[in-house]
Chains A and B, each alone.
Chain A
Amino acid sequence: MTSAPAVEVSALRKAYGEKQAVDGLDLVVARGEIVAVLGPNGAGKTTTVEILEGFRERDGGDVRVLGEDPARAGRAWRSRLGVVLQSTDDLAEATVGELVRHFARFYPQARDADEVIDAVGLREKVRTRARQLSGGQRRRLDVALGIVGRPELVFLDEPTTGFDPQARRDFWDLVAGLREDGTTILLTTHYLEEAEHLADRVVVVNAGRVVAQGAPADLGGRTARQALVRWTTPDGPREERTDTPTALVRDLAGRYGEVPGLQVLRPTLEDVYLSLIGDAPATTPAAPVEPVEVAR
């Protein structure tokens, strides 16, 4: 039973009036995998995730989440899921400790509340009311409530929106801890860095369907991944696109000795992503690309 995928979606469709929000989307998430769903606003990410969570009815297609149809699944199924919604302002008057303990009671095999509080780093806030938490601490509380039931599959919807860089790093460590427990995670995010850091696989959704997927380092295929070598000649700057930058640099070094202005550039995940959703010219890393290797 554990070998079946955690999530299986095929030809999923959902329309709101005239607008086809999800238009034949296919998605498989294996057990233990961390998958990041990327896409512009309105691409159908949230609609898809909410169908998987059982919040919305679909118009068509097959959906299996932990082996069941979310539209018909009951409490036992819910107790195997963890859902962390986009940030909310509820739960104001209860303390962290009370909330985690209270939510633990909903589940048949909950984690120990204190362990969960430690895991999300809220030990010092255990007696603090939710309304007094900072944005990052609040999000950690959301995660604590999402995982206290020992879920097999966790949905994280834009978990770090509005975080400062340190809070984001801490949050990633928290998710990494979940991965070690074998928890399957489906994550939506706007931060490519986050997807790159956390996900085994990135799924890019645009206009209601999957336009690309793969490991963060492979996304977009080889062409999108070609390195760009730049150097300066007496006639001005030159650049060449190549699959074998090392060979090219060796060749250049043979010609010039120390190559003036040498840069080897690789497209970032962001470049690849933008080209996939059509906001940038395909396969051309734009000028301000992050240098990955720089000659000495």
Chain B
Amino acid sequence: MSTTHAGSTPRTRAAVPGTLALGLARTGYELRSFFRERDAVIFIFAYPVIMLAIFATVFGQDDASIELPSGQVPFAQYFLPGMVATGVMLTSFQNLAISIAVERDEGGLKRLRATPLPATAYFLGKIGQVLVNCTLQIAVLLAVAAVVFDVPMPQDAAHWATFVWVLLLGTASGAICGVAFSSLPRSGRSASAVVTPVVLVLQFISGVFFQFDQLPSWMQQVASVFPLKWMAQGMRSVFLPDEAAQLEVSGSWQHGAIAAVLLAWLVVGLVVGVRTFRWRRRDDG
């Protein structure tokens, strides 16, 4: 048997590469793959921009607007915060819930599990991809809103600070919940059919497509359980005049409640995700 000559490769093993560097490498890889998948780019990345354009145009016909005591808020301005919140939810929650379910189904997760890539680096890559996508998407959305629809941008640091923390907290909880939710679809093919309706329903009941205060109160209560409503509310506090707070159900922006709900979903997502995450398909043992 030809076994004698073999095994003759003495190797001093170098240390395995650092998790942070690998997370960065994964981010690059994830971004490249994402932008090559055309349908994902359109449904996740471009969707809020397209919806803003449609809604601002349709509702804004004949200079229609929402009346406030001290003036008017054009529909483009009123819808922008909801579209920002939707964009965050799509790039974080929908994107990860679908893409991880597909990766699991196609065997990509199992393949990675067989390599020395640490799980943390894999998730860092996902988070990096979501952050970059989110930033790009929101930048495009704000640019279109400001340039095409003349939506005024906030002028002071306090509003931008609110923007940043709502954005970051919303992205984080959306991403974590997306990872947790990815274990629910039974196959990669069913993933978008399972995830998209959830996202769509939330958009309708959370005041993204309608004025939230005009929804039936039971619908408002249901929406209040989920993060999208709170993210949209947070974004309204950034992009609408301060007095528009009186249009809110509670009559105020409720920053404390926004932070609490988003944080709660982050924690729930983390606990559920850690317990349910699988590297293999369900039928694979």
**Which residues of A are interface residues toward B (Cβ below 8 A)?**
2-3, 6, 16, 30-33, 50, 53, 55-56, 75-76, 78-81, 83, 85, 88-94, 98, 102-103, 105-109, 129, 145, 149-150, 152, 179, 181-184, 200-201, 215
Contacts and interface: CB of A to CB of B under 8 A. Distances in A.
Contact of B33 (A16, A93, A150): A93
Interface of B: 1-11, 13-17, 21-22, 25, 29, 32-33, 36-37, 103, 106-108, 110-111, 113-118, 280, 285
Contacts of A6: 7
A182 B285 contact: no
Contacts, number: 125
Contact of B3 (A33, A78, A88): A33
A184 B116 contact: no
A32 B8 contact: yes
23 contacts: A2-B9, A3-B7, A30-B6, A31-B7, A32-B4, A79-B13, A85-B107, A85-B114, A88-B110, A89-B107, A91-B111, A93-B32, A94-B32, A102-B25, A105-B21, A105-B25, A106-B17, A106-B115, A106-B116, A149-B115, A149-B116, A179-B6, A215-B1
Nearest to B9: A182
Nearest to B110: A85
Contacts of B32: 93-94, 98
B106 A78 contact: no
A27 B8 CA distance: 22
Given A31-B6, A90-B107, A201-B1, A75 B16 contact: yes
Nearest to B19: A75
Contacts of B103: 90
A76 B17 CA distance: 10
Contacts of B37: 93
Contacts of B114: 53, 55, 78, 81, 83, 85
Given A33-B1, A90-B108, A107-B17, 17 more contacts: A16-B285, A31-B3, A31-B7, A32-B6, A33-B6, A53-B114, A75-B116, A78-B114, A78-B115, A83-B114, A88-B106, A90-B103, A108-B13, A109-B11, A149-B116, A184-B7, A200-B1
Nearest to A76: B16
A106 B117 contact: yes
